[in-house]
């Protein structure tokens, strides 16, 4: 019995032209976007006809797509092992161990997820139901596999860059300078937002508010971001101190120049904080909220896991509107 001789499932699309199949899917669920339906069904279409044979061919190709993340993850594991070996002479330094821990976490996440891709592939291969739903699963699994491959490739590249960072003082200082560039950009953006909010709070009356949101909610939000950004200074100061004390470090003026720049950025950050404090409120609902946030930030010590900090910040920002 050929694939096309199978007992057709309810609302089967097999044997229909692509145009007819798109219309059929949209007619049974008008929430579907026709262009998106066409894109999905194209993966199970051959010579303009939607078919189970085309779906099986798509699954056969998908098996190759799904196998790639596993291979790339294995390569990333080898790269991490090489990086750990290269880092042995300086593995006692917190900034080095923190990076290795982060790479290990990323690898662990990949190794835990890759088997899920294989299980979903088997489920899609065994699926002989509605062709549109099967095509959707094919598309989703393709996206997930490609995303996982990308994450594995990115980890491998980062590990190669880590080894260059380990072995070259200039690379270490260049990377630190890049971090200061990013910090400066964040301070500039935050300062502009703080000035906007401060100006509104200084001029707002019951009949004149230029923001489309509660000005105090905006003040709390930018204050949260300002305080979270402050963690960077302790983190960067600790990292720079480590770079200065790195074994076999050559004499250079760069550390002093970077230290001066970091101090200047902190002054600019403090000025923004003073501006926010000058227009803020001493109401308990705001001060208690910000104090609780600061208490949570106190738990973080260099080297800081910024994914955890971002998660904490996101949690508090989501609760800002509830203060009104």
74-102: per-residue pLDDT in tens?
999 999 999 999 999 999 999 999 999 99
Residue 191 within any structural domain of the chain: yes
Total structural domains within the chain: 2
Length of the chain as a residue count: 324
0.85 exceeded by pTM: no
pLDDT at 204: 66
Same domain, yes or no, for 131 and 185? no
Kindly state whether residue 234 falls inside one of the protein's structural domains. Answer: yes
End position of a domain, from candidates 118, 142, 167: 167
- Examine residue 3 and state whether it is found in any structural domain, yes or no: no
pLDDT of residue 73: 98
Assess whether 124 and 178 both reside in one domain.
no
Give the chain's end-to-end CA distance (angstroms, integer). Answer: 67
Angle at 193 between CA 187 and CA 197, to 5 degrees: 140
Contacts of 203 (CB under 8 A, 6+ apart): 210
Dist CA 203 CA 287 (whole Å): 22
Same domain, 61 and 75: yes
Q: Does 205 lie in the same domain as 124? A: no
Same domain, 144 and 198: no
What span, in angstroms and rounded, lies between the C-alpha atoms of 178 and 55?
48
Joined together, the tokens standing for residue 188 give 């500039």
In this structure, are residues 87 and 166 in contact, taking their beta carbons and an 8 Å threshold?
yes
One domain for residues 187 and 144: no
210 and 117 in a common domain: no
Q: 178: which DSSP letter? A: H
Let me know if residue 6 belongs to a domain.
no
**Same domain as 307, residue 179:** yes
Is the same domain home to 104 and 230?
no
174 lies in a domain? Answer: yes
Q: Judge contact between 259 and 240, C-beta under 8 A.
A: yes
145, 167, 189 — which closes off a domain? 167
In a domain, 87, yes or no: yes
Q: Which of 134, 167, 200 is the last residue of a domain?
A: 167
Shared domain check, 152 and 273:
no
In the block, tokens 């594995």 appear at: 152
Residue 151's CB is within 10 A of a number of other CB atoms, namely: 19
How many Å apart are CA 308 and CA 97, to the nearest integer? 17
Could you list the residue range(s) of the whole structural domain that residue 200 is in? Answer: 169-323
**222 in any annotated domain:** yes
Residues 309 and 312: their CA atoms lie apart, in Å, by: 5
Regions of the chain short of the pLDDT cut 70: 1-11, 204-213, 324
Same domain, 173 and 309: yes
Please give the C-alpha separations between residue 262 and each of 93, 184, 192, in angstroms, as whole numbers. Answer: 21, 9, 20
Same domain, 294 and 153: no
pLDDT value, residue 140: 96
Q: What is the pLDDT of residue 213?
A: 61
């Amino acid at each position: 019995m050929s694939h096309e001789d199978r007992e057709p499932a309810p609302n089967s699309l097999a044997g229909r032209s692509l145009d007819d199949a798109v219309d059929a899917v949209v007619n049974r669920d008008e929430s579907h976007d026709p262009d998106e339906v066409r894109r999905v069904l194209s993966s199970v279409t051959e010579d303009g006809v939607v078919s189970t044979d085309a779906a099986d061919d798509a699954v056969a190709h998908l098996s190759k797509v799904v196998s790639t993340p596993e291979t790339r993850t294995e390569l990333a594991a080898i790269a991490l092992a090489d990086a750990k070996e290269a880092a042995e002479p300086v593995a006692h330094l917190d900034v080095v161990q923190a990076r290795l821990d982060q790479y290990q976490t990323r690898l662990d996440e990949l190794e835990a997820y890759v088997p899920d891709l294989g299980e979903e592939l088997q489920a899609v291969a065994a699926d002989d139901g509605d062709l549109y739903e099967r095509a959707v699963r094919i598309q989703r699994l393709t996206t997930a596999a490609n995303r996982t491959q990308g994450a594995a490739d990115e980890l491998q590249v980062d590990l190669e860059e880590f080894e260059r960072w380990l072995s070259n003082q200039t690379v270490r200082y260049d990377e630190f300078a890049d971090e200061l560039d990013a910090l400066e950009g964040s301070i500039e953006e935050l300062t502009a937002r703080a000035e906007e909010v401060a100006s509104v709070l200084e001029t707002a009356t019951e009949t004149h508010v230029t923001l489309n949101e509660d000005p105090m909610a905006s003040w709390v939000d930018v204050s949260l971001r300002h305080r979270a950004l402050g963690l960077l200074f302790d983190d960067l100061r600790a990292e720079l101190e480590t770079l200065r004390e790195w074994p076999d470090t050559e004499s250079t003026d760069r550390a002093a120049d970077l230290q001066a720049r970091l101090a200047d950025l902190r002054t600019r950050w403090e000025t923004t904080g003073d501006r926010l404090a000058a227009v803020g409120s001493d109401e308990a609902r705001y001060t208690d909220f910000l104090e609780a946030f600061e208490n949570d930030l106190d738990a973080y010590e260099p080297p800081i896991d910024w994914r955890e900090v971002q998660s904490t910040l996101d949690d508090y920002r989501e609760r800002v509107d509830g203060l009104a």
